[in-house]
Amino acid sequence: MVLAELGGRISRALQQMSNATVIDEKVLTECLNEISRALFQADVQFKMVQNMQANIKKIVNLEDLAAGHNKRRIIQQAVFNELCNMLDPGKTSYTPKKGKPNIIMFVGLQGSGKTTTCTKYAYHYQKKGFKPALICADTFRAGAFDQLKQNATKAKIPFYGSYTETDPVKIAQEGLERFKRENYDLIIVDTSGRHKQETALFEEMRQVSVAMNPDLVIFVMDSSIGQAAFDQAQAFKQSVSVGAVIVTKMDGHAKGGGALSAVAATKSPVIFIGTGEHMDEFEAFETKPFVSRLLGMGDWSGFMDKIHEVVPMEQQPELLQKLTEGNFTLRIMYEQFQNILSMGPLSQVMSMIPGFSAELMPKGREKESQTKIKKFMTMMDSMTNDGNMYLFFTIIHADIVCLEML
């Protein structure tokens, strides 16, 4: 993910500061300037970055900090909190509930990734035990129904649409009635997109929305627009009651950070991000775990979710207990590496483990990453069960640095 570069730059700036013999005003300013440069490059709004700098300087008053204080830790925590504030809209969204039909409507501009995302969303909840179904109410784009049909078939999800009916409201109503009758509990409607925001698009969205009475309207947006996401999200919010946003193509655009922070500024919760064209290149988005992974600090709750998906039921309780007790030993890591190889996109899973940033397992170089994991496992084989985690990470990071130097 391109965002891994942003996280890597911020982590390196913090690391460089930690390496300084004395952390004084000059060292702190250099560190914050480098973090700001990284955020500007990700297209984060100037004002937000300025505020972040000012807030951190206010919190971290070096003169007032007594000698005993761990300045490095206080600064790191302040950076972490400020990044979270930047991405936190302060609102949560509706989440589908079992035992009732949840009606979800997708809106967005053409090409944003709406149709692809509908299936990813359905697939995500299918894995969690829901019974999803897809309705194609996009009668504007030729081929929209075929595309949804193809994606749905691949994921083994039932679908409804028409090649002849031109009224999206009629299709949406018919599909909804059928899937409710057949007891589907997550009914997802894909609506038309246009090249730009225009009255006809918004009017059609409003009509479908009135007919469906959705529990949640999700606005899908392409991350490449960066901070312009603010205006786009506002425009959609003013026309239909958008309850959540999904930002797509976070794998390919350096402006992803800007898009995420701009959406947060409209007070709309981002619930997922799209990180590739494939069905499982889709990640639940929560501010703190996201920032934590961005900075290479891991995300245990995300990792546990993945474990529920791949670890045999009978082994789960023991493993989860060890993890919640903070008992993450080399032996457990070794066993989990074996599971990780079957968990899905490596870059996504590895960044959930503290000490591993997504930079270490870059997307698109999965084969290389698998070789790396096998190499780590060989290194662990040569260590005792009491092997030291810190030593292990020191070795693998030194290994990466050596590789980069070659």
Which residues on neighbouring strands pair with residue 108, listed in sequence order? 220
- Token pair 């698109």 in the structure block, residue: 364
Residue with Cβ nearer ligand GDP (112 or 227): 112
Measured at the alpha carbon of residue 314, what is the angle toward residues 309 and 316, in degrees to the nearest 5?
50
Q: Is 275 in the site for ligand GDP (CB under 6 A)?
A: yes
Q: From its phi and psi, is residue 90 left (phi > 0), alpha (psi between -120 and 50) or beta?
A: left
**Which of 66-74, 235-243, 268-276, 395-403 is the region at the interface with ligand GDP (rule: CB under 6 A)?**
268-276
Does 347 sit near ligand GDP (CB under 6 A)? no
* Spatial contact of 160 and 187, defined as CB atoms under 8 Å apart: no
Q: Interacting stretch for ligand GDP, rule CB under 6 A, among 42-50, 163-171, 269-277, 339-347?
A: 269-277
- For residue 229, the minimal CB distance to ligand GDP (Å) is 15
Cβ distance to ligand GDP smaller for residue 248 or 357 = 248
Q: How many amino acids of this chain bind ligand GDP (CB under 6 A)?
A: 18
Stretches 10-18, 50-58, 103-111, 264-272: which one binds ligand GDP (CB under 6 A)?
103-111
The nearest distance, CB 208 to ligand GDP, in angstroms, is: 15
Number of C-beta neighbours around residue 166 at 10 A? 9
- Asked if 251 touches ligand GDP (CB under 6 A), the answer is yes
- Bridge partners of 187, per DSSP, are 103, 133
Partnered with residue 132 across adjacent β-strands are 186
CA distance 277 to 213: 30
> Tokens 């190889």 identify what position?
341
**Residue span binding ligand GDP (CB under 6 A) among the ranges 53-61, 92-100, 106-114, 178-186:** 106-114
How far apart are the C-alpha atoms of 84 and 100, rounded to whole Å? 33
Question: Residue 58 Cβ, how far from ligand GDP at the closest point, in Å?
Answer: 37
Does residue 366 touch ligand GDP according to CB under 6 A? Answer: no
Nearer to ligand GDP, 108 or 132 (CB): 108
x/- map, 207-236, ligand GDP, by CB under 6 A: ------------------------------
Neighbours of 110 (CB within 10 A): 16
Q: By CB under 6 A, is residue 71 in contact with ligand GDP?
A: no
252 is an interface residue for ligand GDP by CB under 6 A: yes
Give the one residue of 11, 45, 102, 115 binding ligand GDP; rule: CB under 6 A: 115
Select from 260, 295, 287 the least CA-distant residue to 85: 287
Least CB distance from residue 10 to ligand GDP, whole Å? 23
Among 114, 293, 306, 363, binds ligand GDP (CB under 6 A): 114
Give, as ranges, the residues between 136 and 195 that touch ligand GDP (CB under 6 A).
Answer: 147, 193
Residues that bind ligand GDP (CB under 6 A): 108, 110-116, 147, 193, 248-249, 251-252, 274-277
